[in-house]
Amino acid sequence: MIGVRKLSDTENKKPKMVNITINLANIYDENIQRLIAMKIVPSRSEAIRIALREYLRKEFENLELLGFYNNESKESK
């Protein structure tokens, strides 16, 4: 089953981080820098983590609404 794993209490406090490298279009970086200047986010890394977390949450909710997880659990029985 494909799904989003919820963090345990210990993981939620201080999640383990991995270092990745990505390429962004200049416009994205410029907008991230604006958010940093406005003190909305503290860093590029945090801005990207927030965006990724929100994207994954919305995708998970969309799949639930479409019945993806319900259909899969019925098929496995």
Please tell me the pTM assigned to this model. 0.65
Number of domains in the chain: 1
The range of the structural domain enclosing residue 44 comes to 24-75
Q: Give the pLDDT confidence of 22-57 residue by residue, as tens digits.
A: 999 999 999 999 999 999 999 999 999 999 999 999
**68 and 61 Cβ atoms separated by less than 8 Å:** no
Task: Check residue 77 and give its pLDDT.
Answer: 46
In a domain, 31, yes or no: yes
Q: Helices H, strands E: what count in the chain?
A: 4, 0
**32 and 41 Cβ atoms separated by less than 8 Å:** yes
Task: Name the phi and psi angles at 5, rounded to 5.
Answer: -85, 130
Q: Residue 6 above 80 pLDDT?
A: no
In a domain, 44, yes or no: yes
In a domain, 45, yes or no: yes
In a domain, 9, yes or no: no
